[in-house]
Amino acid sequence: MELKLHYDRDISHDAYLFHEGKNYQAYNMLGAHKFKKKGMKDAVSFTVWAPAAKEVFLIGAFNDWNETSIPLQKFEETGIWQVIVEEVSQYDEYKYRIITANDEVRIKSDPFAFHAEERPKSASKYFDISGYKWKDKNWDKEKSKIPVYNSPINIYEANILSWRKNEDGSQYSYRKFADEIVPYLNKMGYTHLELMPLMEHPFDGSWGYQITGFYAPTSRYGTPHDLMYLVDACHNNGIGVILDWVPVHFAKDDHGLARFDGSYLFESLNKISAENAAWGTLNFDYSKGEVRSFLISNALYWHEFYHIDGLRVDAVAYMLYYGFGYDSGELKENTQSVEFLKELNTAIFERFPNTLMIAEESTAWPNVTAPIEDGGLGFNFKWNMGWMHDILDYMEEDPINRKFKHDQLRFSFTYNHAENYMLPLSHDEVVHGKKSLLDKMPGNYNDKFASLRLLLGYMIAHPGKKLTFMGGEFGQFIEWNEWKELDWFLLDYDKHKEMQTYVSELNKFYKANSELFELDSEAKGLNWIEHDNANESILIFERLNKDGDKIICAFNFTPIERVNYPIGVDEAGIYRTLMSSDRVRYGGNTIRVKTYRTLEEEYHGRKYGLRVSIPPLSAIFLKFSK
C-alpha cells in the first residue's frame, strides 16, 4: 500500500502556549487526531513533542511497522514533530521511533494517546474519542444546586481489578463493573465512587500509581467509550465519580515518558530532583512550561471528555517539598510545585466550578483548601490524615487503656476548621500488614464487629466528608489483595450481612440529615456536650444545620454499658433515638431503640437533662421530637 503523507497542519499559536505552560487543551494539538481536508481519506495527524530528537518516525499497523517509511517533520522553533497519514483505522496500533542526538533509538508510546494496547503490550492505539452519546445532561444542573461544602459527600473507594472477578477469574470490564457497582452503590447509600488510578499503567501491582499513559484509560477493562459508559451510568443514578490522579511522578518503563527523546524532557536534569526513591519512579519537572501544559491539560481532559466530578490528587506532600519521604534532612519547599498547584486549581475551577479537587496531603502545610487569593493552594478538600492515624490508633487500643488516649480521640476537633477536610479510611490502611478495618479492632469476634460499627458511626458524625475503601462495608476480614476479588462469600454469614445492612442504613441516615454535613467546615456546626470523660471513654456532641436543628451524637468506646448516662440539652420534651449501632438488625443487642423525656435537671451547663443508656462499644444518635 502506498502511504500518503502530508505536513500542512498549522500549530504555531498552540505550540507557543504549550511552551509557555498556558496551553490547557494540549491534547487537541498533540497526539493522534482525525484530520479533515478535502481529498484526504481517513487522515490522522500524529504530533509529538521531542525537541532533542535528531529524527522521529511513526511506526504502526498502517505501515507494517516499517522503521523509516513515515518520517515526521520538525517545526524547528517548537521542538514539535508532525505528520498526517491517510487511511488510518480506529484501533490501529502505533509508536514513535525516536533517534536521539546520540544516535540512540527509543521506541515510545504516544504521551497524548487516548487508547493503548492491553498490558503487557505497550503500543498506543489511534482512537477517535468523539461519538459517545452521553445521557447525563441534567447531572451538572442538579449537582450545582448545593455548594459542595454544604452537601453530603460519602465516597466509596474502589479498585476495578479486585472488586469482583468473573467466574473464570478474569477481570471485569468497565461495562460489567458499571452494571453491578451502580445498583450496589445505590443500595449502600454512597454519594460518590472514587476509582483508583485508571490511566494506563503496565504493572497491576502498582495499583495504577506508576503511569505510562496519562491520557489513555487503561485498556484492561475496555475502550474509552466503555469508561464513559461507567461514568454515565453513575450520573444517571445520582452518583458522582472521582478519579485518583497522579501528577507527581511517572513510571520508568522504556515505552513511557522517561528520557523520552534522549534528553530529560518531562523529568528534571537534576538527578536528585528527578528520582523518586520512594516508588522507583521519576518526578515531573514543574519548572517547564510544557510539563505544566501537559498536566493541567490532563486534569481538564478527564473532566471534559469523561465528565468526571473531581480528582483526588495523589501525594501532594511529595510535590510541596523536595525529597519528601526519603530525605531525612530539613524539608525544603518546592516553590515551582506550589505555583503549579495554584495554576492547576485556578484552571480547573474556572472551567468546572462545581468539581472536587481533593488533596492527599499528609503534612501540616497551611491553607491547602484556602482560596489562592488568600494565600492558599486552592483545593476545596484535603484528606485529614491526622484524624485517620489518631482514630485508628485509638480503636486498635484495648478498651481498658483507651482512657489514657482520650486526648488523641478529641485532638482532631482542635484543628477541624483549619481546612475543609475529608475523613479517609482508604486502601492504604488495609494493606502491607496493617490488617483490615475489622481485624484491627481488638477483642472477641462480636467485639470486633461492634467496634467497627462504632468507628463508622463516629466517622459519620465527625465533621468532614467521608471516604471508605471497598470491603470495609461488610467487614472484610483479610487485608486487601489487589490480585483477588473481595471476599463476597462472607455475606453468607450473619455478622457480615448485618454489618452491610448497618453501613447501608448509616449512609442513608447521613444523607437524610443535613445536621451531619451542612456545616462541616464551620465551627457553628458542632457543640460539645461531653468531651473530658476519659475514665469512661465517652464522647458526646451535637451536630447542627443552618436552621439550628440538632442531632446528639453519643459514643461509648468501652465494652461496658453506660446506664442512665446524663446528657445536657437545651429544649424540654421528647428525644427519640434516630440510629443506634447496637441494634439487633446490625448484629448488636438492642431490640428496640428508646425514646427519652427530659428531666428538670441541669447537666453540662444546660437547663435540662436526659438519662440515656449507651450500649457497649456503640454510637447512638438522638434528636428532639416534641
Pairing of strands 154-158, 465-469: parallel
Longest dimension (CA), the chain: 95
Sheet of strand 550-556: strand arrangement: 526-533, 538-544, 550-556, 618-624, 574-580, 595-597
Pairing of strands 44-49, 31-34: antiparallel
Chain-centre distance for alpha carbon 207: 13
Active-site residue identified among 157, 232, 309, 314: 314
Q: What is the dihedral of CA 136, 139, 141, 145, to 10 degrees?
A: 170
Chain-centre distance for alpha carbon 261: 32
Beta strand spans in 344-396 (E): 356-359, 381-383
Retrieve residue 492's grid coordinates.
453468607
DSSP secondary structure letters along 108-172: E--TT-SEEPPTT---EE----TT-----TTHHHHHTSS-GGGS--EEEEE-HHHH-B-TTSPBP
User: What are the percentages of helix, strand and coil residues in the chain, rounded to 5?
Assistant: 30, 25, 45
Contact 56, 110 (CB under 8 A): no
Handedness of CA 59, 60, 64, 69 (dihedral sign): negative
Alpha-carbon span 534 to 530, nearest angstrom: 10
Catalytic site residue 396?
no
Active-site residue identified among 157, 232, 343, 360: 360
Any idea what DSSP says for residue 572? Answer: -
Contact 479, 611 (CB under 8 A): no
Provide the angle, in degrees to the nearest 10, between the axes of the packed helices 335-351 and 289-306.
30
Retrieve residue 103's grid coordinates.
544516535
Catalytic site residue 360?
yes
Catalytic residues: 314, 360
